[in-house]
Amino acid sequence: MFETTIAGSLPRPDWLAEPEKLKGGWKLSGDELKQGQRRACREWLEHQEAAGIDILTDGEVYRRHFVHSFLHGIRGIDQNKKTVMGIRDNRYNLEVPTVTAAVSRPAPVFLDDFKYTRSLTDKPLKITLPGPMTICDTIADEYYGSRPAMAMAFAELLNEEARELEAAGADVVQFDEPAFNVFMDDVNEWGIDTLNRAVQGLQCTKAVHICYGYGIDENNRWKETLGDEWRQYEEIFPALNKSDIDQVSLECASSHVPLSVMRHLSDKQLMVGCVAVTPDRVETPEEVAATIREAMQYVDAERILPCTNCGMTPIPYDVALAKLQALGKGAALARNGL
């Protein structure tokens, strides 16, 4: 009951990468970098186990960015051809690489690192991949001329990658789709179809993480424009409830999401965000337990997985560790209270 997990990323230690930055550069290179990433992964697995987290992740410490690290393994993308693009419906501008030919995946992207991570623990392990729609909102297109077509092409590649990760022992494959909270019409028209294509044939648990983004300034300013009640999930959950996905996340800690939106996911498990990913304060275990109890007003207890709101890459290492510990303790409190 109340199996705990995290959305995905954890801070990379300051000896490995520039801290508290989304795409902070590596401080090591070559084999030292590989060994450093592995050490960071080992340490986070130990921290997660000690904190009572049930479904572990590698903390994405092998990656610089949750989308671009995957795209670096994909052919058909000109990494040197930069296009300025308004990301997440023009919330912020980024220079991004450009798709200039049909995309293909010449080799597995995350498999070697995942096999190493898998060798370190017998506990359930989750691996995260960027979702097809979010990829298409993070890269420029000069080839497909249609977002749904490009997303479907990426979904096929993601599916190949996911099947290999499953065969290597992934218990949960999670697709990160923050774009789902921005392009709600597109989600219903083609986003769910491309997500279903990405998970096609998988026997492991299939999850999707949707969110309002990391706690960075651009996102925080955007959140201020969303009003008192964030009801975006409501527009996409009915379709997601009919999808092939098993688990859906939503951020419940310090957000303006009315938890009643969970009613639209009656057939799914819910990753309930019980800790925010802003660094200003650490939730208490009692607050975590209170969020779980609030979710229980709308979801049967056995469908609730206490989780973080989002990835924790941009916050200080110690704060993220304290939030993990609060999450584990809070879930234990909620269990004891049943």
Q: Shortest gap between Cβ of 209 and Zn ion (angstroms)? A: 6
Least distance from C-beta 257 to Zn ion, angstroms? 13
Closer of 135 and 211 to Zn ion (Cβ):
211
Centroid of chain to Cα 217: 19
Least distance (Å) between residue 133 CB and Zn ion: 14
Residue with Cβ nearer Zn ion (144 or 230)? 230
- The residue among 127 and 310 lying less far from Zn ion, judged by its C-beta, is 310
Give pairs for 288-292: CB < 8 Å, separation 24+: 288/253, 288/326, 288/327, 288/329, 288/330, 288/331, 288/333, 288/334, 289/330, 289/331, 289/333, 289/334, 289/337, 291/252, 291/253, 291/330, 292/2, 292/330, 292/331, 292/334
Rounded to a whole number of angstroms, the minimum distance from the CB of residue 338 to Zn ion is: 29
Burial class (CB in 10 A: 0-12, 13-18, 19+), 108: middle
Q: What are the DSSP E strand ranges found in 105-244?
A: 126-130, 140-141, 172-176, 205-209
Closer Cβ to Zn ion, 137 or 333, answer by number? 137
Q: Residue type at 318?
A: D
If the CB atoms of residues 110 and 212 are measured against Zn ion, the closer one turns out to be 212
| Cβ proximity to Zn ion, 4 vs 144, nearer residue | 4
Distance CA 168, CA 111 (A): 8
**Three-state secondary structure call for residue 238:** helix
CB of 261 to Zn ion, least distance (A): 17
Q: How far is the CB of 88 from Zn ion (least distance, A)?
A: 12
Q: What are 250's strand-pairing partners?
A: 272
Give the shortest CB-311-to-Zn ion separation in angstroms.
Answer: 5
- In 3-state terms the chain splits into helix, strand, coil percentages (rounded to 5) of 45, 20, 40
Query: How many of the other CB atoms lie within 10 Å of CB of 228?
Result: 6
How far apart CA 139 and CA 84 sit, in angstroms, is 9
Q: Phi then psi for 290, rounded to 5 degrees? A: -65, -40
With contact defined as beta carbons under 8 Å apart, do 178 and 88 qualify? yes
Closer CB to Zn ion, 154 or 214, in the complex: 214
Residues forming the site for Zn ion (CB under 5 A): 211, 310
Query: How far is it, in rounded angstroms, from Cα 14 to Cα 280?
Result: 19
Which residue type does 221 have? R
CB nearer to Zn ion: give 66 or 317: 66
Q: How far is the CB of 8 from Zn ion (least distance, A)?
A: 7
